[in-house]
């Protein structure tokens, strides 16, 4: 099986500029929440990875976690994953000293910080607020020097506790050196009414910048093929063919090209790259649906 991965980010200059602006603002102490929303395969993770690379080059701390569609997902799973990974190799004794009393709440989620102490509050709302503020205390410590990028992917699978924390955090980020970057599949919002309500509230109040990723235009699909095949110029007929079959979905473009390479519809000869006539191509007629169903199972 051959690979057909595009080596560059195509058609997302405007979206990347908005992300860079948010990252620079967080670095200066004006934090925010940004959500990348779009269908499966549209390029949310690719954009997030590009921003993550830029954040690391700027010396920022990066934490990354993902939500799960498991039936019995752990509450706060993406936060536990993101923060827990960052604790590996950290100077835990120094961190515990900096955390002060917050460590007792955090130990309920991060046993590497010690044994939980104190009585669990009778009022669940009070206990949740104490935990949320303790998590923010830890994030403030990690963001103190150069800022922090906290990336949480697949928000459409988030548990209620995670959504509660994110809503709590977004109200405090404007005073912090943190950027909270989220990704979510738009087609899965119907399965999470809690998330749909939260995003509607964020849109209405401007609490978060929501970037809706649209399909690539034909010229961007052509640029993808040009980059994948090492600068080989792509004719308009082939670009139109790909656009029609994939509807401008970047992952679907890569999968169609990979399938064409595997079948020999696209081939390399002594003269460079070549292809069969489009009438002889044999991609499945519903390749986008097939690809998106496969992505949904990842």
Model confidence pLDDT, tens digit, residues 72-111 = 678 999 999 999 999 998 899 999 999 999 999 999 999 9
Q: Which helix (H) or strand (E) holds 80?
A: helix 77-87
Please write the tens of the pLDDT for every residue from 199-246.
999 999 999 999 999 999 999 999 999 998 887 777 888 889 889 889
Look up the CATH architecture of domain 13-212: 3-Layer(aba) Sandwich (3.40)
**Cβ neighbours of residue 62 under 8 Å, at least 6 residues apart?**
52, 55, 56, 148, 149, 151
In three-state secondary structure terms, 169 is: helix
**Cβ neighbours of residue 159 under 8 Å, at least 6 residues apart?**
67, 73, 74, 75, 76, 77
What's the pLDDT at 46? 96
End-to-end CA distance of the chain: 19
- Whether 285 shows a pLDDT value over 60: the answer reads no
Using H for helix, E for strand and C for coil, what is the string for 43-77? CHHHHHHHHHHHHHHCCCEEEEEECCCCCCCCCCH
Using H for helix, E for strand and C for coil, what is the string for 209-273? EEEECCCCCHHHHHHHHHHHCCCCCCCHHHHHHHHHHHCCCHHHHHHHHHHHHHHCCEEEECCEE
Q: What's the CA gap between 280 and 8, in Å, rounded?
A: 29
**Average pLDDT for the chain:** 88
- Whether 122 shows a pLDDT value over 60: the answer reads no
Please write the tens of the pLDDT for every residue from 33-64.
999 999 999 999 999 999 999 999 999 999 99
Where do the structural domains in the chain lie, given as residue ranges? Answer: 13-212, 218-296
- Whether 270 shows a pLDDT value over 70: the answer reads no
What's the pLDDT at 188? 79
- Predicted TM-score (pTM) of this structure: 0.90
Count of CB atoms situated within 10 Å of the CB of 46: 17
- Among 44, 63, 46, 51, CA closest to 155: 44
Please write the tens of the pLDDT for every residue from 247-256.
999 999 998 8
Across the chain, where does the E strand assignment appear? 32-38, 61-66, 148-153, 178-185, 209-212, 266-269, 272-275
Structure tokens at 17: 């500029």
Higher pLDDT, 147 or 230: 147
């Amino acid at each position: 099986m051959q690979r057909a991965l595009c080596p560059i980010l195509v058609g997302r200059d405007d979206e990347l500029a908005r992300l860079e602006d948010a990252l620079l603002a967080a670095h200066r102490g004006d934090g925010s929440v940004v959500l990348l929303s779009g269908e499966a395969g549209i390029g949310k993770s690719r954009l997030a990875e590009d921003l993550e690379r830029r954040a690391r080059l700027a010396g920022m701390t990066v934490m990354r976690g993902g939500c799960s569609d498991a039936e019995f997902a752990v509450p706060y799973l993406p936060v536990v994953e993101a923060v827990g990974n960052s604790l590996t190799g950290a100077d835990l004794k120094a961190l515990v000293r900096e955390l002060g009393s917050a460590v007792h709440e955090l130990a309920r989620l991060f046993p590497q910080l010690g044994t939980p102490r104190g009585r669990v509050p009778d009022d669940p709302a009070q206990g949740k607020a104490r935990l949320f503020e303790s998590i923010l205390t830890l994030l403030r410590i990690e963001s103190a020097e150069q800022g922090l990028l906290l990336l949480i992917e697949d928000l459409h699978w988030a548990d209620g506790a995670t959504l509660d924390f994110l809503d709590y955090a977004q109200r405090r980020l404007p005073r912090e050196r943190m950027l909270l970057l989220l990704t979510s599949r738009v087609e899965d919002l119907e399965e999470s009414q809690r998330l749909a309500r939260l995003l509607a509230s964020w849109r209405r109040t401007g609490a978060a910048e929501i970037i809706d990723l649209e399909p690539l235009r034909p010229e961007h699909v052509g640029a993808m093929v040009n980059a994948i095949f090492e600068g080989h110029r792509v004719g308009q007929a082939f670009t139109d063919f790909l656009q029609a079959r994939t509807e401008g979905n970047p992952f679907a473009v890569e999968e169609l090209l990979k399938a064409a390479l595997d079948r020999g519809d696209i081939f390399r000869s002594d003269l460079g790259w070549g292809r069969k006539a489009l009438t002889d191509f044999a991609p499945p007629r519903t390749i986008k649906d097939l690809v998106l169903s496969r992505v949904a199972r990842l």
